[in-house]
């Protein structure tokens, strides 16, 4: 009898342990950063983590190292581990990563993409991979168009108006699309001349090097148009070293980092296209939790309209919203 009771007790204990393990698994969410050292990705994860804690979930971040092949394998490995109930991905390759998404979906695991849609068409947020849980992103073309149109307005009455474009990296499809959009809008105006295009790789140091090289070949620059605030940090240093007063130029970045918000308020920079990374991460986490719990899911969330402010931020917008602070540092 005693042995039987012990066996029952051990059996019950094992069942409870397995149940606890299963419960723990269902409470773990994996966030796949494009690069975990990148400030924007860190802010997105902060939004995921904060919302997850509020909803009773645990999270882990995985470093994509700005390497598409590494991120693809990473998703496969984490899926094979069976330790995570939901995935959120900031994709490095919006086209190639679709195969990894299909594997996750086939396994019945909810998966969301942030910042960019997944699929060959970056102009739409509608699902291009059947079964994707949610796309929480900003379509690149409308934002890039708004940025370029602000440059057109700034250049009015100046001929020539010399523009430098600092893009992230041409190997990224979304950066190519932004660059093409910038060039298409600016090319429609005869007074605007794009004198150089540099790659900043979302790094102040790389942007400093790129802008320094550009200024050595171009002595009269009026505008710097970029898709990332990190780039303008390096650009500003290069301009000062070359004898420019940055506030005399029109400087437009992207991301609405805290450093950009401060610079615009101080009159050093002019505009930033906001993506609101912390809000983005929180909204993605909310949809993943809804999917896990069988609640209604919002499949498409456009960050151009879902953020706390309008996406194109300049001093007038900040003057009207004096309490706004950037959702990430840089």
DSSP state of 120: S
CA distance 133 to 129: 10
CA neighbours closer than 13 Å in the CB half-sphere of residue 221: 33
HSE (side-chain half, CA atoms, 13 Å) at 84: 24
Tell me how far apart the alpha carbons of residues 272 and 112 are, in angstroms, rounded to a whole number. Answer: 26
Q: Check: CB of residue 112 under 8 Å from CB of residue 88.
A: yes
pTM, two decimal places: 0.82
Smallest Cα–Cα separation from 209: which of 197, 195, 198, 222?
Answer: 198
Q: Can you name the residues that pair with 172 across neighbouring β-strands?
A: none
CB atoms within 10 A of CB 67: 15
- Ordered domains of the chain (ranges, CATH): 2-138+277-298 (3.40.50.2300), 141-274+311-320 (3.40.50.2300)
271-274 and 134-137 beta bridge pairing = unpaired
Residues 6+ apart with CB under 8 A from 293: none
- Residue the block writes with tokens 């523009």: 163
pLDDT values of the chain reduced to their tens digit, one per residue, 330 residues: 433 433 333 344 433 333 333 344 568 999 999 999 988 899 999 999 999 999 999 999 999 999 999 999 999 999 999 999 999 999 999 999 999 999 999 999 999 999 999 999 999 999 999 999 999 998 889 999 999 999 999 999 999 999 999 999 998 888 999 999 999 999 999 999 999 999 999 999 999 999 999 999 998 999 999 999 999 999 999 999 999 999 999 999 999 999 999 999 999 999 999 989 999 999 999 999 999 999 999 999 999 999 999 999 999 999 999 999 989 876
């Amino acid at each position: 009898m005693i042995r039987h009771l012990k066996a029952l007790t051990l059996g019950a204990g094992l069942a409870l342990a397995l149940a606890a393990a299963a419960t723990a698994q269902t409470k773990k969410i994996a966030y796949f950063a494009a690069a975990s050292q990148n400030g924007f990705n860190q802010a997105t994860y902060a939004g995921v983590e904060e919302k997850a804690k509020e909803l009773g979930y645990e999270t882990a971040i995985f470093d994509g190292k700005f390497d598409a092949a590494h991120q693809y394998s990473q998703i496969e490995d984490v899926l094979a581990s069976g330790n995570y109930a939901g995935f959120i991905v900031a994709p490095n390759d919006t086209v190639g990563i679709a195969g990894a998404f299909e594997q996750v979906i086939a396994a019945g695991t909810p998966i969301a993409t942030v910042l960019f849609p997944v699929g060959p068409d970056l102009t739409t947020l509608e699902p291009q991979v059947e079964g994707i849980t949610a796309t929480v992103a900003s379509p690149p073309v409308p934002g890039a168009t708004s940025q370029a149109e602000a440059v057109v307005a700034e250049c009015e009455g100046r001929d020539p108006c010399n523009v430098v474009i600092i893009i992230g990296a041409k190997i990224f499809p979304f950066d190519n699309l932004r660059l093409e959009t910038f060039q298409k809008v600016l090319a429609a105006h005869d007074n605007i001349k794009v004198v150089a295009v540099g790659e900043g790789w979302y790094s102040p140091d790389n942007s400093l090097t790129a802008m320094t090289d550009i200024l050595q070949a171009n002595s009269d620059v009026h505008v710097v148009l970029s898709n990332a605030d990190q780039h303008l940090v390096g650009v500003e240093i290069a301009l000062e070293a070359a004898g420019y007063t940055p506030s005399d130029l029109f400087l437009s970045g992207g991301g609405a980092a805290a450093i950009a918000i401060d610079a615009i308020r101080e009159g050093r920079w002019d505009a930033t296209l906001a993506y609101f990374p912390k809000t983005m991460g929180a909204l993605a986490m909310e949809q993943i939790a809804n999917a896990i719990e069988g609640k209604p899911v919002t499949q498409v969330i456009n960050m151009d309209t879902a953020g706390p402010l309008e996406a194109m931020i300049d001093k007038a917008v900040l003057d009207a919203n004096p309490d706004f602070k950037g959702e990430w540092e840089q």
